[in-house]
Amino acid sequence: MLGAHLLSRCLAPPVLAAVLAAGCTDQLPTGATANGDVPLRVTASVVGTPIATLVVRVTATDITTPLVFNLTVSNGVAAGTIKVPPGLARTIAATAMDAEGDTTHDGSATIDVKPGLNPPVQIHLVPRSGQVPITVTFGNYGVVLTPTTDGIAVGGQVQLAVAVTDAYGNPVANPTVSWATSQPTVATVSASGLVTGAAAGVATIVATYEGVAALSTVTVTGAGGGFVVASLAVGAFHACGLTAAGVAYCWGYNADGELGDGTTSARYSPVAVAGGLTFASLVAGGYHTCGLTATGVAYCWGYNVDGQLGDGTTTNRLSPVVVAGGLTFASLSVGVVHSCGLTSAGVAWCWGYNGNAGLGDGTTTNRWTPVTAAGGLTFANLSAGGWSTCGRTTAGVAVCWGDNYSGQLGDGTTTDRLSPVTVGGGLVTFASLSAGSDHSCGLTAAGVAWCWGGNAAGELGDGTTTSRLSPVAVAVALTFGSVIGGGSYTCGLTPAGAAYCWGGNGSGQLGDGTTTSRLSPTAVAGGLTFASVGAGSDHSCGRTSTGAAWCWGSNRDGSLGDGTGIDRLVPVPVASP
């Protein structure tokens, strides 16, 4: 029986035996339906896996037609009730499937089911390939613990929440739950589920009710994290950090060479960018990365099919190449397939893909080397988005150009623009701008955030999913020190360093411990204080006030840099190189 492991009454795996033994079931619910079938509550944490459905199949010699139950996944937990006729030798097979219907895990066990009360049973499902194992619990109760993973610093705290349901899925009011930790020297847990970090390491926190347990993995780091950086840059599926000495490191997806280490191998922890250069700043785009030296010379590497590396070719580069033209820049910004630089005089230059006029040179012709953008305007800052670009003039007026399919240019239309148009008629002046994939945001001098463009996932933060063709205020009584647009979500940082995110959350990129999209700002869990945050396609990273790098969300190809490929719903520290 592949991957099967049973928990008989008062019996558990060694690490949890002491915890579960204390929960032997004496006060269990009546366990029979009107027709005599026995209800069993099924729960499984599937965080860090692509599982969308859990299929449970029950067979036996006296069951003429197999019983099949389809359980859906919500917030990283598969849960539901199955009803099994009592009898001997019931084979329970559990199959986990992704959104495409492909099997990712499976396992089975043969048990006896008696009328009334039954001891909890666990089946360990073995992954078909490249995934973490998962455990499915069948019992008289379901216990769900949130968040299922978390990261805190030594001395930091996180409050865990437990929900208990009976065999029919009805909430159990005021359940008496016992708490325990596998590593009390790493993390302690109170009688109310408050976890406190004691020393660097990993601890499993266990909440038990009537013999049924739920687990949460808490990573505790000393000094608030692992890899210490001077700055962070977050791309679509990769990220990079710059040390105080100017050495660039990158991690994550690398099929096009965007990590710059001379290979196309994905990296699950930081690797040094090849070439021996030192940089003053880094920016990461869709599938390419650029860096600016202390003397203002721009280098880029990675995907180059549209000329976004600016070296006069369309050849992908696995390590940095200098941007042609002999220009020096004060800052850089990169989008999905184009790049821009701003000179010290405030002149904008762009290069790469131009099919939607994101370069702002009045054409839709791709450019393999920099061309002047924006009709001679001078800017205080630039932000390259998906296929559009926005700039803030020295007077604080926001202008945008390029792709406008979702209204991300903010001019009241959905018409692509070959040259700059004023956002919102210039009624709002901004201190900073950030262009996301299909939306844009600006921050006023008073710290009020405004956004416009696509809003299908709530990325504008106005409490709706209605796209906006001109700026709307983010619906929260918060002031921000910075705001950054990502794929279909947005993050903001308060002046005190508290991180908030809103919009799409399918991979946990909002960092609030769930996969629930949010229509207004929600606090990033963990209680960390950040100096900066960055948003990718579906993962986020932040640099704390002590310089430690933390990431959360999708971890495909190692984009979180924690040495695993497991999605994280809350921040985890980036591993040191």
pLDDT > 70? residue 410:
yes
**Highest mean predicted confidence (pLDDT) among 20-29, 113-122, 135-144, 553-562:** 553-562
CA distance 279 to 259: 15
The torsion angle over the Cα atoms of residues 41, 47, 53 and 56, rounded to 10 degrees, is -40
pLDDT > 60? residue 388:
yes
Residue 11: predicted pLDDT: 30
More reliable by pLDDT, 258 or 37: 258
User: Sorting pLDDT into bands at 50, 70 and 90, what band is 152?
Assistant: confident
CA distance 436 to 476: 20
Provide the total of helices (H) and of strands (E) in the chain, helices listed first: 1, 45
More reliable by pLDDT, 341 or 10: 341
User: Shortest CA distance to 568 belongs to which of 151, 237, 251?
Assistant: 151
How many other β-carbons are positioned within 10 Å of the β-carbon of residue 161?
Answer: 12
pLDDT > 60? residue 8:
no
User: Shortest CA distance to 299 belongs to which of 287, 311, 312, 307?
Assistant: 311
User: Contact at 8 Å (CB) between 13 and 117?
Assistant: no
Each residue's pLDDT tens digit, 229-265: 999 999 999 999 999 999 999 999 999 999 999 999 9
CATH topology classification for 14-28+36-223: Immunoglobulin-like (2.60.40)
User: Contact at 8 Å (CB) between 551 and 572?
Assistant: yes
pLDDT > 90? residue 12:
no
pLDDT > 60? residue 32:
no
Q: Which residues pair with 208 in a beta bridge?
A: 178, 213
Sheet of strand 468-473: strand arrangement:
432-435, 439-443, 449-453, 468-473
Tokens of 394: 């020295």
Residue 7: predicted pLDDT: 29
DSSP collapsed to 3 states, 291-320: EECCCCCEEEEECCCCCCCCCCCCCCEEEE
More reliable by pLDDT, 100 or 337: 337
Each residue's pLDDT tens digit, 315-354: 999 999 999 999 999 999 999 999 999 999 999 999 999 9
User: Sorting pLDDT into bands at 50, 70 and 90, what band is 222?
Assistant: low
Residue 35: predicted pLDDT: 65
Each residue's pLDDT tens digit, 428-487: 899 999 999 999 999 999 999 999 999 999 999 999 999 999 999 999 889 999 999 999
- Report how far Cα 270 is from the mean position of its chain's Cα atoms: 18
Tokens of 552: 């959360």
pLDDT > 60? residue 204:
yes
pLDDT > 90? residue 411:
yes
pLDDT > 70? residue 23:
no
CA distance 567 to 564: 9
Using a pLDDT cut of 90, give the percent of the chain over it: 70
Query: What residue type is assigned to position 220 of the chain?
Result: V
CA distance 106 to 113: 21
CA distance 358 to 134: 45
Each residue's pLDDT tens digit, 44-99: 888 767 888 999 999 999 999 999 999 988 877 888 999 999 999 999 999 999 88
pLDDT > 60? residue 276:
yes
Average pLDDT over residues 542-569: 92
CA distance 77 to 216: 12
Question: Where are the domains positioned within the chain?
Answer: 14-28+36-223, 441-546
Using a pLDDT cut of 70, give the percent of the chain over it: 93
* 17-31, 190-204, 386-400: least confidently modelled range: 17-31
CA distance 161 to 194: 9
Residue 214: predicted pLDDT: 86
